[in-house]
Amino acid sequence: MSRWNRRPRGLTPALLALALAACSEPSALLPVDAGTADAATADAAPVDAAPADAARPDARIPDVDARRPDAAPVDAAPPDAAPPADAAPADATPADASPADAAADAAPIDAAPADAAPPELDAAPLDAAPQDAAPKADAAPPPNHGIDTFDYTCHDPAWRPGACVAGVGEFNDGEGNQQHIADDIEIPPYPLSPPSAGAHRSRWARWGEYVSLPPQRWLHNLEHGGIAFLYHPCTPPEMVQALRDLIHARPEGDGLLYILTPYADMEHAIAVVAWEWRYQADCVRPDEIGLFINRFHGMGPEAVAADGAYSEGFIGR
């Protein structure tokens, strides 16, 4: 493009004043210092020039403000600005301070050290049971049957029942002594062990299972038509459980009048006894025991199904 097609940059102040003076209508002359950036045409500014308001005297360029001695950095927070979210409070524990030091300031003066055990833990042994723990079953004292008390524990761990063959039943005629003896008078030993009849105490036992129950009590239960299920103290636990299961499976249910207890003086593992009748075996033979119960249950000289008043050593039904 030739220089003749370029637009004029604008009139100087002197030429502008002469042009205005030549007009037919008088007008005020611009002051001599009016030749500022505002007198230039809008398109006289370079294409990449800053906006017009950037040249105003009151405008502040960040770089200029940053050079002032008393100016804060551009990214500095205002004096009253809240600290950043992750900033620690002014009274926070120093970064290198240990937690124990910080806790010491917060704890009361008379507080126990953080690692101190409660006084009651120091006093109790490590293996001590809680105070509310139920006592062990074997911690209970043995039943007290007065002068009839007997040792119902196993004294021969090597004892084993004999072969599991057919049991032996027998009738013991002439033993039917129904005399009631007071609790403080000793009853002579029975001629058979275990007995199936004989003198006994006046109070019969409550029906069910016992930790121990002497024959002086359960013989009275036989007199009333009950059945005594006896087992040697050294009989294996699984055999005792089989006997217990057989009792609970009977069709009589709660109507079965029975006593289940260990008996110390007998040769076989188990015995099932009714008034004047006795069956013994070295294993639980359900068919034979079932026949014995069917034949002799409720056949005592006195038919009394009520519970007895004696319950020392009672476990349950």
How far is 282 from 314, CA to CA, in rounded Å? 25
39-53 confidence digits (pLDDT tens):
334 344 444 444 444
Angle at 293 between CA 225 and CA 275, to 5 degrees: 35
Q: Is the pLDDT of residue 190 over 60?
A: yes
The 3-state DSSP class for residue 208 equals strand
211-252 confidence digits (pLDDT tens):
999 999 999 999 999 999 999 999 999 999 999 999 999 999
Query: Is there a contact between 207 and 259 (Cβ–Cβ < 8 Å)?
Result: yes
How far is 174 from 112, CA to CA, in rounded Å? 81
Closest CA to 315 of 264, 240, 232, 225: 240
Residue where the block lists tokens 């008390």: 149
pLDDT bin (cut points 50, 70, 90) of residue 258 is very high
pLDDT bin (cut points 50, 70, 90) of residue 293 is very high
pTM to 2 decimal places: 0.58
Query: Is there a contact between 292 and 226 (Cβ–Cβ < 8 Å)?
Result: no
Q: How much is the pLDDT for 139?
A: 54
Q: Give whichever of 24-28, 79-83, 292-296 has the largest mean pLDDT.
A: 292-296
Q: How much is the pLDDT for 43?
A: 45
How far is 48 from 184, CA to CA, in rounded Å? 129
Q: Is the pLDDT of residue 28 over 90?
A: no
How far is 205 from 215, CA to CA, in rounded Å? 10
Measuring CA to CA, how many Å separate 97 from each of 86, 103, 227?
A: 18, 11, 81
Cα torsion 21, 24, 28, 34 to 10°: value is -50
For 201, other C-beta atoms within 10 Å of its C-beta total: 24
How far is 218 from 310, CA to CA, in rounded Å? 10
Sheet holding 277-281, edge to edge: 168-171, 277-281, 270-274, 227-231, 258-262, 208-210, 314-316
Query: Is there a contact between 151 and 264 (Cβ–Cβ < 8 Å)?
Result: yes
pLDDT bin (cut points 50, 70, 90) of residue 133 is very low
152-171 confidence digits (pLDDT tens):
999 998 999 999 999 999 99
